[in-house]
């Protein structure tokens, strides 16, 4: 029987990665690239539960968004070329506006996961949430040492963020059933990588475990 993770609310942040319409909604970047957005949509209720639990426990909450400036000056040519090869060129017109461009409808969060005014939003031009963003200084300013990660996609932006977080010394927990891969068959290997070598990239838990760990002792005893 596995033990619940232990989180100090004063030292822990929930990182909700890229739960945007471009990845989770019809007509967004992911669907334009030929991906099945069903798995991304399916984790929305799990992320909602994590948000509710984190907010109730007083955790710092950070939401990230991947996207680029309208002139694409912050989009490396190699990344743009990859999006062209995928059939969804960054900056091209789509049903939700220009794909992966800041300020467009597709760049915005899924409506049911909108941040509260008190929560932090990190706009990122890359896959990892630390690259060319203020995430590192923001977490340092609040004395954060533990991260709970969820969102999309497991094999790209979640893993990129997780790996850099571990290199920066954070203790990380990835919530498996609140994390989706762009292709379902990639999810299990992405989660399995985290646990190699005794948990080299931290711990993998499910939503129920994290929610239970964030509840006060009296609530668990009731």
Q: Which residues are catalytic?
A: 18, 124, 157
Within 8 A by CB and 6+ apart from 117, the residues are none
- Single out the residue of 13, 19, 41, 20 nearest to residue 151, CA to CA: 19
Report whether 160 contacts 64 (CB < 8 A).
Answer: no
184-188 own/partner pairs: CB under 8 Å, 24+ apart: 184/36, 184/39, 186/154, 186/155, 187/39, 187/154, 187/155
Euclidean distance between CA atoms 25 and 37, whole angstroms: 7
Provide Rg for the chain, Cα atoms: 17
């Amino acid at each position: 029987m596995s033990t619940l993770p232990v989180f100090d609310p004063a030292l822990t942040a929930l990182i909700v990665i890229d739960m945007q319409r471009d990845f989770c909604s019809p007509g967004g970047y992911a669907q334009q690239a030929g991906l099945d957005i069903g798995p991304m949509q399916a984790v929305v209720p799990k992320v909602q539960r994590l948000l509710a639990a984190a907010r109730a426990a007083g955790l710092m909450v950070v939401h990230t968004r991947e996207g680029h400036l309208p002139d694409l000056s912050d989009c490396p040519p190699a990344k743009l070329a990859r999006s062209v090869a995928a059939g969804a060129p960054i900056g091209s017109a789509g049903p939700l506006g220009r794909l992966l461009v800041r300020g467009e409808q597709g760049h915005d969060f899924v409506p049911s996961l909108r941040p509260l005014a008190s929560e932090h939003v990190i706009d990122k031009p890359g896959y990892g949430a630390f690259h060319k963003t203020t995430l590192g200084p923001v977490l340092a300013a609040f004395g954060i040492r533990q991260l709970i990660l969820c969102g999309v996609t497991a094999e790209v932006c979640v893993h990129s963020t997780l790996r850099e977080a571990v290199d920066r010394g954070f203790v990380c927990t990835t919530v498996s059933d609140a994390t989706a891969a762009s292709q379902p068959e990639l999810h299990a290997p992405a989660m399995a990588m985290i646990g190699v070598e005794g948990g080299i990239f931290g711990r993998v838990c499910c939503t129920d475990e994290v929610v239970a760990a964030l509840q006060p002792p009296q609530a668990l005893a009731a």
